[in-house]
Structure 1
Amino acid sequence: MLNPKSQKVFVTGGTGFVGAHLVRLLLQQKYTVKALVRPSSNLENLRGLEVEVVKGNLNDPNLWRQMVGCQYLFHVAAHYSLWQTDQELLYQHNVLGTRNVLAAAQKAGIERTVYTSSVAAIGVGSSGKVVDETHQSPLEKLVGNYKKSKFLAEQEAIKAAAQGQEIVVVNPSSPIGSLDIKPTPTGDIILRFLRRQMPVYLDTGLNFIDVRDVAWGHLLALQRGKSGDRYILGHQNLTLKQLLEQLAEITGLPAPQRTVPAWLPLSVAWIDEKILAPLGKIPSVPLDGVRMAKQPMYYDASKAVRELGLPQSPVQAALKDAVDWFVTQGYVNPSGELKIKN
């Protein structure tokens, strides 16, 4: 077990959802934290924390200088977008950025790195089959440029580990909880439910996990993970219908009862991105997002539970945390119908 006393950690992506929870956990566990943030980053998630903040970007050739004096690196930062027009940005930030960050870590003498990949890089099983770390969908079968970029970025980490760098890969599923400022796709589902903007739903499913467990998964990967291996940080596989029913129980709001056939949102998204967007209309539904949602994304996290000791906190408690946070932060205009249980 690593001794956190006097240990300094460099974190990318600390202003984001997972990164903000990781930073809090590291501070709680007595690590010293140095966080890289973009000049344009919203720093709200780091407000009031004893963190050394440095401004820069993942592709800075002198990034290694900022890492000197740190023992460990958590590379959490990534560009997330499902818009097809962002293909180049995704490649620059996620693939080339990861390559540069890992090279900087080696040059700065970082002893051990945890790279945050995603289950998106693993792909999905056929017909909703539950898959683990041994599964890999071919690159051409991964839906959308985001998934492809995360696969290629993960390959950079695995390649560097094969060349002798100490790098552990973690693949979070769909985290749930507070501090989801953007929000994430899962947070967006919760928000749409709270705002009564989800009259129907797609017949699909995801793997969910409390975001605080994801943060612990990162730290446990640093302490116990095997270099070059990947670990799925997930917990419970739920259909979207089951998730919405849990939200209904927490809030007192009715869950949508009708499914919508996938061709309908696919048609809307195709018209949005392919026809209206070039004419100047801001698209409302990403085509790749609908294509991804057609496939249930179910995962088995037993390796991380077994080898790392990944916690498995109740998903419903994480959902309640997310609901409470969105309401108190003003993301939702709460009506009298919200009856959140204590």
Structure 2
Amino acid sequence: MSAPKLVIGANGFLGSHVTRQLVAAGEDVRVMVRQNANTVSIDDLEVTRFVGDIFDLDTVRAAMDGCDVVYYCVVDTRAWLRDPAPLFHTNVDGLRGVLDVAARQPLTKFVFTSSYSTVGRKRGRVATENDPIDRRGLSAYVRSRVQAEDLVLEYARDHGLPAVAMCVASTYGRGDYGMTPHGALIAGTVFGKMPFVLGGVSLEAVGVQDAARALILAAEHGRPGERYLISERMISNAEVVRIAAEEAGVPPPSRTIPVPALYAMGAAGTLKARLRGTDERLTLESVRLMRAEADVDCAKARRELHWEPSPVQESVREAARFWADMRAARKKARAAQPD
């Protein structure tokens, strides 16, 4: 049997699918998860579990010892935080310690989960991995992701770490127990709690199983020091909601919020955050982030990693079925409760 594979952040949406695919392939899999983390997505798997967060470097070192590949799937995605310090603490500072440990191990590959938001995208043109991002005016969340990717590529260049950066798009599919922000769109639709659709908003998207497969292929074929865009296509919020409603057999939202109204709602959220000192998910910064979408070209991943994704619409349907199953399970549980 080959050397063990380590998945850090294995209970997350993407990390759990990486873990499941490795186990299905017969690999000896180690996982690292935080104390008291919700691990329902991997509890049925035969893995060796290490408990600790990424700042617990003794546990990181023990988990990594003897492994040949590390899949790093940890990210704080709370782009709405008024105080962005936690984003940089996890996404950059925590990563730096793990990289220090990894650089001292005889790894064959360190597969880092980055974001397609680190690539320079402009409306009207298709971006590739060679397009540098304009670092002026970036949101705190995107800055944390850019700095994290910079750090990984620096360790590849200056410390000999065989690292690749996977610039993954928004992921859809089953098992989104933590409810990612884009997954919440599908859950809200299925549960009938989505009052409207945001007009003029689209995301680069990919099925979570295809994204996980890309990470595993990167361990085999990825070139150290390179980054790879992982997306299947651009898809609008309206199409995601329509597909999810159709699959779940529920009516889609009847109202659409036009772009000017979206900016007005973002301005109101920004003002509320300032006056009340609260974290608001819909602010001018988040609206600008949603509106910054532009097409990307994933030919490099297809060519070098031999990656062939399925249409993301199928993954949206899978996600809708997942939430419909959850809805049915909750309904059954309530019916079983005594009056």
TM-score by length of 2: 0.89
Aligned residue number for residue 85 of structure 1: 82
Aligned residue number for residue 243 of structure 2: 246
Distance 1:294 1:233, change over 3 A: same
Name the amino acid aligned to 1:137.
I
Listed as ranges, the matches of 1:22-171 within 5 Å are: 22-62=18-58, 63-125=60-122, 127=123, 129-142=125-138, 144-163=139-158, 164-171=160-167
The CA RMSD over aligned residues, in Å, is 2.3
**SS at 1:175 equivalent:** strand
The answer to whether 1:200 aligns with 2:197 is yes
CA distance in 2, matches of 1:45, 1:15: 6
Structure 1 residue 277 displacement after superposition: 6.4
Aligned residue number for residue 13 of structure 1: 9
C-alpha contact (below 8 Å) 2:129/2:229 kept by paired residues:
yes
- Structure 1's unaligned 5+ residue stretches are 335-342
Structure 1 residue 36 displacement after superposition: 1.2
- The one-character-per-residue Cα deviations of 1:100-150 (angstroms, maximum 9, x if unpaired) are 11111122333321111010222432x2533121122222243x2111101
Aligned residue number for residue 338 of structure 1: none
Aligned residue number for residue 334 of structure 2: none
**SS at 1:311 equivalent:** coil
Aligned residue number for residue 185 of structure 2: 189
CA distance in 2, matches of 1:211, 1:205: 18
CA distance in 1, matches of 2:85, 2:189: 32
**SS at 2:239 equivalent:** helix
Aligned residues: 328
Distance 1:284 1:111, change over 3 A: closer
Identity of aligned residues (%): 27
The answer to whether 1:306 aligns with 2:303 is yes
C-alpha contact (below 8 Å) 2:197/2:237 kept by paired residues:
no
Aligned residue number for residue 339 of structure 1: none
Distance 1:66 1:294, change over 3 A: same
Aligned residue number for residue 322 of structure 1: 319
CA distance in 2, matches of 1:155, 1:274: 33
Structure 1 residue 96 displacement after superposition: 1.2
TM-score by length of 1: 0.88
CA distance in 2, matches of 1:254, 1:310: 35
Aligned residue number for residue 234 of structure 2: 237
